[in-house]
Amino acid sequence: MKEFLIPMHFTFMISGVVLMLVAAFLAAPKKEGWFPLHKTLAGTGAVAATVGFISIFSLKQKMNYPHFASPHAVSGLTVLITIALVIILGTLAISGKKAARPFHIWIGRIIAVLLFLMVVSGIFRFVEIFQR
């Protein structure tokens, strides 16, 4: 099972990060027709990241490993919670609550920084685990 869940975690997390970053860059220039693709890519990225999270959570559960015991795990949970918040704010913004839009934009930018930190901490965690 371990042989399946670890690559699943990598694949879905990398996919989620790439999709969400592309969605963010699409929104920046505000060219005609950007919004449907932004929404689709961001939503798909959030789902991919959630599946990646569930895969590693399941592995830790099956192996009786502690949850949220590393900076990478804590930052990953923080990013997922923040992604949920930005989705809620984006939904509010498109439903007429214009005051939510600036928060959606700024928290989205913060997510980009958090994603970078999470990836870096994940690389360090990967190296740490496989040096044992």
Its pTM stands at 0.90
Distance CA 28, CA 47 (A): 22
CA 47 distance to own-chain centroid:
9
Do the Cβ atoms of 3 and 35 come closer than 8 Å?
no
Q: What is the pLDDT along the chain (132 residues), one digit of tens a residue?
A: 667 888 999 999 999 999 999 999 988 877 888 999 999 999 999 999 999 999 999 999 999 999 999 999 999 999 999 999 999 999 999 999 999 999 999 999 999 999 999 999 999 988 988 887
CA dihedral 110, 22, 7, 77 (to 10 degrees): 20
Distance CA 90, CA 108 (A): 10
